[in-house]
Amino acid sequence: MKNLFICIILFAGTCIASESEHDHQPHDHLHGNVYGLEIHDAHMDTLPLAAANIYWRDTTLGTTTDTKGHFHIARPDDKGRFLVFNYVGYENDTLFVKPHDDHLVVYLKTLRSTKEVHVSAEKPHTMHHMDVAVNTESITSNGLTQLACCSLAESFENTNSVDVEQSDAVSGARRIKMLGLAGFYTQMMIEKKPVMRGLVNPYSLEYVPGFWMESVNISKGTASVATGYESITGQINVELKKSENSKPIAVNGYTNSMGKTDVAVLGAYQFNPKLSTMLLTFGTTLQKRWDMNDDTFIDMPLLRQFNLMNRWKYSGDKIRGQIGVKLIHDDRQGGQMDFDFDQSQRSTGLYGSESKIRRYEVYAKSGMILDDQGSSLGLIISAFRHSMDSFWGLKTYSGDESSMHANLTFNKNLSVHTLSAGLSYLYDDRKEHYLTKEYDTSERVPGVFGEVTVKPNDHFTAMAGLRYDRHSRFGDFITPRAHLNYRPDDKTSIRLSAGTGYRNPHVFMDNPAILASSKELVFQEDIDAERAWNTGLQFTRDFVMGNDRPATLVFDVYRTEFQNQVVVDMEQSTRHVFLYNLDGQSYSNAVQAELSSTLFPGFDITAAGRYNDVKTTYSGELKSIPLNSTYKGLLVLSYSTPNNSWQVDLTTQFNGQTRLPNTRMNPIEYQLDEYSPRYMLMFAQLKRKFAKWEIYAGIENLTDYRQKNPILAWDDPFSPYFDSSNVWGPTFGRRFYIGFRVN
C-alpha cells in the first residue's frame, strides 16, 4: 500500500513539473476554464459551465466552452486585449489578458434578478461524479423519497455502497457499514461539520430526519485531509435543505402499521437578498408494544424524540456566514412486554432497558472570497454537549460528553493547480460511568494540513495531501493521502486512491454487545488508537444501450488493512468480553459492481452486487468477523408516468450468509448455528404527485422475513448466556405506511 501511495505522489509530481515547463513556452492560443460559483451555507462549490460564450472585445474572434467548462481561443495579436465571458444566469465578466498569459481560470457569479425563472427537471436517484478526484456518489432529493426515509438510517436501502444494520434487538439502534467494516470507521458529517461522533454514534443516523435532507454524498476510501484524520473506509456528508431556496412552509407526515408516527415541519423566511433564516422541526413517537415472535420482548422499542434546528444565513458579495443551533431530546424503552417503566430498574423482576438522551449543538460558518481568481478563506466552528442515562437489565451506563471542533481553510487557485492549507483543533471531554467504574477521557488535538490538486488537462486530475495532528493521548498522527482520476474520454473515469486514517476508539458506544449482553467487560491491556491503510480502484463508464438509452457501469475494488485495531473478542469465554490491541492481521477486501440505466422513458433500473472478505486475528487465529454478510445483491426499479404524476419504486435486497459468534461453550439450548441463512428483503412504494403536495404509501419488508429468536436466552434474561446483540437480519416483519408531503 505504501508503494502505491509513493507511485501516486511521483506521478502527480511529474505532471506538476511538466506543467511548470509548459508555462514558459510561447503560445498563439489562450486556453482555460470557466466555472460558476455555487454558494452553500458558507462553503463554496464550483460548477463547470458548458457552452459559455467567450470572445475578444472589438473583434469577431470567439469560442464556447466544452462540457467541462474548458476553452481554447486564438489570440488576435501579441498585444494585451480584453476577453469577454458570457453565460445565461451569471454576471458577465471582462478580463484584460496580458501577452504572456496562456491559461485562465474564470469564476462567474450568479446573476441576481428581480424576475422569476422556473426550470423543471427530474433529478436522477443517484449520481456518480466523474470529474472529481475523490470517488463520490450522491443520493439526490429524488432518491431520498423512493423509500419512506424517515431518517438518515433509512436512506441507504437502495444503495450498494452502504449497509444499515441493527446493533441489538432491545434498543433497536441502527448503524451503517461501508466496505465491510463498521460505520464508525466512516466519517459522518453534516455540511462538512464532524458532529456525528463520540457518544452519539449508536443513534446518530436517527437524529437526521429524512425530510430535512437535500442530498447525501458518499465518498468511498480515504477522503481529503482537510476534513480530518478519521476517514478510514469513507466519508458521508449530509446536505440539509437551504433557507434561500426553500418554500416558506413545508410539511411531512408519516405513520405505519406498528403505530409509529413522524411529523416534520420546515419554515423558511428571506428578509432580504442577503439575509435568510430557517426553522426545522421533527417529532416521532411509538408507544404500542409488539411481540410478533412470542419471546416476551418488545420487537420495536418505544420511543419519543423531538428534534429542532434553527439557522441564519448571510450572503454578501464577498463574505458569507451562517450560525445555527440544534437540540435533540430522545427517550427510548425496550425489554420485556410487561416491564413497568414507572417502577425502579430492579423492582419488577423483569428485564427492561431505557435510554434518555439530551443533546445540544451550536455552530458557526463563515467564508470570504479574497480575489477575482476564486481564492477564499473559510472557518467552521462547531460544539456540542451530549448526555445519556441508561440501564440494560441490571447494567447501568451513563455518559456526558462536551466537544468543540474548529477548522480554518485557505484555498488558492494557481493556473492548473489549486492549493489548500489550514489549521484545525479538536477538544473532547468525556465522562462515562459503567456499573461501578468511571471511564473519563480528555483529548486535545491540534492539527495542520496541506493539499494540492493538479489538473493539467481535461484527462487527468491528481490530489495529494498531508496532515499532522498531535493527539494528547496517543501522540503524533501523520496522515498522507492521494487520489488520481484519469479520464481517457468524456464517458470514462479511472480512479486510484491511497492513504491512512486514525481513530480514537469509544469502547461502549462502538460495541453495544457490552451493554446488550450479560457478559462482563475485561480490558486485557491499555487500548491504543486505531490506524489503517486504505487503497482503492474505481472504474466508471457512461454508455448508450439500445434506443439511445443512457447507462452507467461502476466497478470498485478496495482494501483496508489495519496496523492497529481494538479487537472485541466475545468468543473466548461465555461470561466475558475481552478487549485488546490487534496482534496479527486484520483486513477488509471489498469488490462492488453496479449497472444503472433508463430502459425506456420514465423507467430506471439499477442492478448491483458486492463481495466482502473481512477477517481479524482473534487470540492468534485469523477468522472472519461475525455478523458480517459475505455478499449482497441489489435491484432497484423505478417508474414515473409521462406526466410525472405517479411514481412506483421497488427495491429488492439479496443478503448472503454471515458467520455467527461461536457459542459452543453455551448449553445446547443457547447455542447458535455456525452461519446465518441467506435471505431477501423487498420494499415497495407508490407516490402520487400534485402541484404543491404529494401522498405516498408503501410496504417495508414485503415478504415478512424475520430473524427467529434474535435474543439469545430470552427465557432467562439474567443468566450469563443472555445476549441481544447477535442480530443478522430484520427483527420485525412487514410494515405498511402512508404519508404526505406539502411543499
The arithmetic mean of pLDDT across residues 343-370, rounded, is 88
Cut 0.75: pTM above it? yes
Q: Specify the pLDDT at position 3.
A: 53
* C-alpha cell belonging to residue 476: 503524533
**C-alpha angle with apex 216: 212 to 222, nearest 5 degrees?**
140
- Grade residue 696 by pLDDT with cuts at 50, 70 and 90: very high
Beta strand pairing call for 492-503 and 530-545: antiparallel
* C-alpha cell belonging to residue 260: 409509529
Which of the residue ranges 132-136, 332-336, 363-367, 417-421 would you say has the lowest mean pLDDT? 132-136
Residues 6+ apart with CB under 8 A from 66: 50, 458
pLDDT at 422 over 80: yes
Beta strands per DSSP E along 415-548: 417-434, 437-457, 460-471, 475-486, 492-503, 520-523, 530-545
Of residues 732 and 345, more confidently modeled: 732
CA distance 275 to 302: 41
Report the Cα 329 to chain-centroid distance in Å. Answer: 23
Q: Specify the pLDDT at position 9.
A: 47
pLDDT at 400 over 70: yes
Assigned architecture for domain 28-108 = Sandwich (2.60)
pLDDT at 129 over 50: yes
Which of the residue ranges 28-42, 131-145, 337-351, 712-726 would you say has the lowest mean pLDDT? 28-42
Q: Specify the pLDDT at position 548.
A: 77
CA distance 160 to 220: 12
CATH of domain 126-353+367-742: 2.40.170.20
Q: Specify the pLDDT at position 87.
A: 86
* C-alpha cell belonging to residue 427: 477538544
DSSP annotation of 736:
E
The arithmetic mean of pLDDT across residues 287-316, rounded, is 94
Of residues 529 and 97, more confidently modeled: 529
Which of the residue ranges 137-146, 248-257, 306-315, 360-369 would you say has the lowest mean pLDDT? 137-146
Which sequence spans correspond to the domains of the chain? 28-108, 126-353+367-742
Q: Specify the pLDDT at position 112.
A: 55
Yes or no: say if 104 and 82 are a contact pair by the CB < 8 Å rule.
no
pLDDT at 147 over 90: no
- The total of other beta-carbon atoms located within 10 Å of residue 644's CB is 11
What are all long-range contacts of 288-293, with beta carbons under 8 Å and residues at least 24 apart?
A: 288/258, 288/259, 289/337, 290/258, 290/732, 291/337, 292/706, 292/732, 292/733, 293/706, 293/708, 293/709
Q: Specify the pLDDT at position 59.
A: 76
Which of the residue ranges 85-99, 106-120, 162-176, 414-428 would you say has the lowest mean pLDDT? 106-120
Which of the residue ranges 74-88, 298-312, 680-694 would you say has the lowest mean pLDDT? 74-88
Which of the residue ranges 44-48, 99-103, 233-237 would you say has the lowest mean pLDDT? 44-48
- Grade residue 11 by pLDDT with cuts at 50, 70 and 90: very low
Which of the residue ranges 32-46, 299-313, 347-361, 411-425 would you say has the lowest mean pLDDT? 32-46
The arithmetic mean of pLDDT across residues 619-626, rounded, is 94
pLDDT at 575 over 80: yes
* C-alpha cell belonging to residue 35: 466555472
pLDDT at 589 over 60: yes
Q: Which residue has the cell 434474535?
A: 710
Average pLDDT in the chain: 88
CB-based burial, 221-258: b 16+ in 10 Å, e otherwise: bbbbbbbbbbbbbbbbbbbbbbbbebeeebebbbebeb
For residue range 450-498, what is the model confidence (pLDDT) as tens digits? 999 998 888 899 999 999 999 999 999 999 999 999 999 988 999 999 9
3-class DSSP assignment, residue 244: helix
Q: Which residue has the cell 488558492?
A: 412
- Grade residue 122 by pLDDT with cuts at 50, 70 and 90: low
For residue range 12-32, what is the model confidence (pLDDT) as tens digits? 444 444 443 334 334 577 888
Q: Specify the pLDDT at position 17.
A: 41
Q: Specify the pLDDT at position 155.
A: 86
